[in-house]
Structure 1
Amino acid sequence: MTTAPSPLLLPDGRPAAQAWTLSPALRHLNHGSFGAVPQVAQLEQQRLRAEMDRAPVVWFPALPRRVAEARAVVADFLRVDAADLALVPNASGGASVVYGSLPARPGGEVLVTDHGYGAVTMGAQRLARRWGGSVRTARVPLAATAEQACAAVLAGITDRTALIVVDHITSATARWMPVAEIGAAARRLGIPLLIDGAHVPGLAEDPLAGLEFDVWVGNLHKFGCAPRGASALVVRSGLRDELHPLIDSWAAEAPFPERFDTQGTIDATSYLAAPASLAFVERTWGWRTARGYLHALADYAERIVGEAVTALTGESAAVDVGMPVNALRLVRLPAGLAGTRVEADALRDRAAAELGVEVAFTSFGGVGYVRLSAHVYNTAADYEYFADRCVPALLSWARSRARS
């Protein structure tokens, strides 16, 4: 039986959560959506903003150099060459860079999967319309193994495929995708590959090792705990010469990635403060220890919440996820809840307002799930609260919905 791991503590013996400023009036079980910034990084960003506002004419000319220094720290964290990495506001923004920079392919198809993040898929649809082409969707069963998932994606390739877009970790379904196998096939076929790795930084020690791709994007503000608005765009092909920031600035004619370091008067303090978050976790617990804790805690959360739902409904809430993620888990909701994305978002808002819990609800194939996240500030008690107090309320809501 999966047991609860001992909570992580700060060096002075206080609970890990004391390093964050999260409201004690809520249980925070949804780190995967928007992250949570430790106080040390909040203070660093505030310090940087104060510096910017004290002397803007000094700040902005020096900013490209400072962005390049932060970029080098992020590259070291991801174990990639700094010359291959640019900083962008978020993973969707990085995908938009690709969509806005690719050479025209009249009639070309963009291949996505049914697990793709909605905003990124919408961008693919806009690109396809611009090309006068279409989006083709590969259907990947939730329980698919790496081999099965890869086969499903490759089966969607046609002679008109001009771009493949695939998640590294899926958002709605909390599973890894076999990007190494898909990337190798895409490279053999000469088809550009964009990997949406929004959730990945912090969850894998060397996440890009051995991968073949054209562009990979990953958010630092999710499991990396950086201030929001800090993400990495990594390029490993000749496509780097085609990629340009969404905003043209004075570095527009500079090579990649330097052209991304200058973006006029944007507030780049999220980029500059990102290393503070990465360093905080490393010096306090070490990222390897942190990942081990997240894995053990997610195992426990999945078990006790699943058992609570099963006990009340009489139906198994277990979900067969083919390639589960260490810190993200799915539990099936009682029938009638979160059957669509809109319903899932409404359930999220109601749970926060009425149950005092920040948690993600997702929908896939018309089935609703609770997506549990874990980070170092979480403890077993958070998920025990959800199992004991929130699951009965969810079942009550489902029954009320069925009667109406």
Structure 2
Amino acid sequence: MARIENIGVLDVSDIVPELAQQITEIANVGVIIESEESQILLKNCKKINIGATMKLPKDVKVKFIIQNGEMKIDKDFLEGLLDHIIFLVNGSLFVENDVDVNLFDEKVYSMIVNGELVCTKKLAGVAQSKGTISGKILKYNNDYKYIEGNVKLTNGFLKGLRPNSKLAFKQLELVEDVDIKLLEEKIANIQVLEKLILVDELEDNIAEYIDEYYAVSKILIPDGVKDIRYIDDDISLNDSSIKKYNHDVLYVDGDVDVFLDNDVMFSKYIDKLFCNTVICNEKTYEIIKDNISNDVEVKIIKGKLLKNSGNMTLTGEIEEEVTIRNMGKLILDEKLDYDKFDMNVVSMSNYGLILAPENKLSIVKNKLVENYGKLMSLEEKEINEKNKADQVDEEILYANVGELKL
């Protein structure tokens, strides 16, 4: 008896009966490539934690291209392929606008994208029909050039363009004066797929160049504001971390936790804060409220925010009011004072795993206002680990391989 585990792509489509009889378990595999014959041969094999399964006809021969991160493909890339291709991308797949539908259909047998697909509108249908896209699909106009990332439209950027360029951006930032004559020469049309960050005073000059301008999601910065700090992730601000700013306008593409212990002059460091959501307590809100953009959602919580995105164990006593936000693994220890926990934990939001003693689970459940993760007893986890250790050891046939064909 043997098992196969921790394989990126496992191709069993041509497996022989003798080998199939030996395999009792396949676990932790990103993608399994099967055939009708292999499904029959492995019908009694236990399959655990399989990301995706792909069934190939017996007579089809394909090559795999595996990419973790960003990948760009264009006409030259596809024309250089000699075989049908299956793309397996964990990240972002960008398809340039010179790829036509027939070429894509001819060369790409299938695709699995865990993340983001960016392609022209004409290609979106055939791309979706080729497999599974677990994430966003961004579709840009067919004759436009797509530019990834958060792009600042400046005179320097414009000078590098060809005349009458048609450009598509995921996110575009226009916060400084540009030469209008240069803009007229270089830009024919602009498509913004997700967000436009624009200073009020530039709106009249730029709006006519942007497709469906009034339908675009936008952030309008008040006139006179020039220097913007852009951050593309959640951040936390406290008495110490706020000191690295100096009258900045802060635009955060995410949430901001703000907890100020002292009477900090918030405007000395941050003139204006733009973000999705501000999370703070009542005291902090009174300090920062005049410097938050009107369209920012505000969540006021009680006490301090205890935020876990890794591996954290709580034990002993919780002496002050806290709101817990768990995005990792949180262990509530046997030695944690659950009377103090019940008294001082205002609420909990769980997006990960919380472990607690069996007889304390009800206390924990009462504190959960959001639970998109898992709550498990320490005893249950111990039993699971013991059962796994007590299982009869099987021979590991293959393990920890990126791509394997049997």
Q: TM-score, normalised by structure 2?
A: 0.21
Rg larger in structure: 2
Instruction: Give 1 or 2: higher helix fraction.
Output: 1
Instruction: Give 1 or 2: higher strand fraction.
Output: 2
Q: TM-score, normalised by structure 1?
A: 0.21
Q: RCO higher in 1 or 2 (8 Å CA, sep ≥ 6)?
A: 1
